[in-house]
Chains A and B, each alone.
Chain A
């Protein structure tokens, strides 16, 4: 059974720092991996989607990489801002049916 873990569970950094969030999964046979952002009490906003044939995706200050063989993905945030404060979730689709399994999340706080 696929399990998705995110480390660290919480992170507090000063504004301007570059940071890396980690996502690991137990079954490397995945199709797609998606990173989301969730603000307190709100729904999910999609940040980046890495499809099965891809190794990374970039959007603005965000870069996500995927290494299926090692069961890991990282989300890199450059020059962090207070507005980046949120919970970041990764999710994997292991069957190609859009039934994504979610990680435990990393709660990020960027201090001004």
Chain B
């Protein structure tokens, strides 16, 4: 099974700033997914990160707010831009694994 790591594990940021979250997988994968989990809520898919092409965003999420990079088959970054307190969430990356998904440990973001 894949080992997925994320950096940072948590951060406290001021409104108006940006934070870049890194996701590293120990094997090559075609697709990587970024999810958001707001406090007390379930997970919502933000976008699919594809190597060599633009990320595909879900309804309600835009590239200007959540730019994504995918420079190779083992790494991706998600930036949360111009943050507001509503962006306080856990951000998780995931990869396909055996028909299902495997998840990283998440990044807990608090915006003050």
B residues 19-71 near A (Cβ < 8 Å) are 31, 33, 42-45, 48, 58
**Complex alpha-carbon distance, A34 and B96, angstroms:** 12
Whether the pair B104, A32 counts as a contact (CB closer than 8 A) is no
Nearest B residue to A103 by beta-carbon distance?
Answer: B42
Query: Of A14-22, A37-45, A67-75, which binds chain B?
Result: A37-45
Whether the pair B99, A43 counts as a contact (CB closer than 8 A) is no
**Complex alpha-carbon distance, A36 and B111, angstroms:** 27
Whether the pair B33, A43 counts as a contact (CB closer than 8 A) is no
A-B contact pairs, 15 of them (CB 8 A): A41-B106, A43-B105, A44-B43, A44-B92, A45-B103, A46-B102, A46-B103, A49-B99, A89-B43, A91-B43, A99-B48, A99-B58, A100-B101, A102-B43, A102-B44
Q: Main SS of chain A's interface residues?
A: strand
Whether the pair B42, A32 counts as a contact (CB closer than 8 A) is no
Whether the pair A34, B108 counts as a contact (CB closer than 8 A) is no
Binding site for A on B (CB under 8 A): 31, 33, 42-45, 48, 58, 90, 92, 94, 96-106, 108
Whether the pair A104, B100 counts as a contact (CB closer than 8 A) is no
Q: How far is the CB of B71 from chain A (nearest CB, A)?
A: 21
Binding site for B on A (CB under 8 A): 32, 34, 36, 41-46, 49, 51, 89, 91, 93, 98-105
Q: How far is the CB of B20 from chain A (nearest CB, A)?
A: 19
A34 neighbours in B (Cβ, 8 Å): 100-101
**Complex alpha-carbon distance, A46 and B31, angstroms:** 18
Nearest A residue to B95 by beta-carbon distance?
Answer: A98
Nearest A residue to B104 by beta-carbon distance?
Answer: A43
Decide yes or no: A104 and B92 within 8 Å by CB, A34-B101, A44-B103 being known contacts: no
**Complex alpha-carbon distance, A89 and B44, angstroms:** 12
Nearest B residue to A44 by beta-carbon distance?
Answer: B103
**Complex alpha-carbon distance, A36 and B42, angstroms:** 12
Nearest A residue to B92 by beta-carbon distance?
Answer: A43
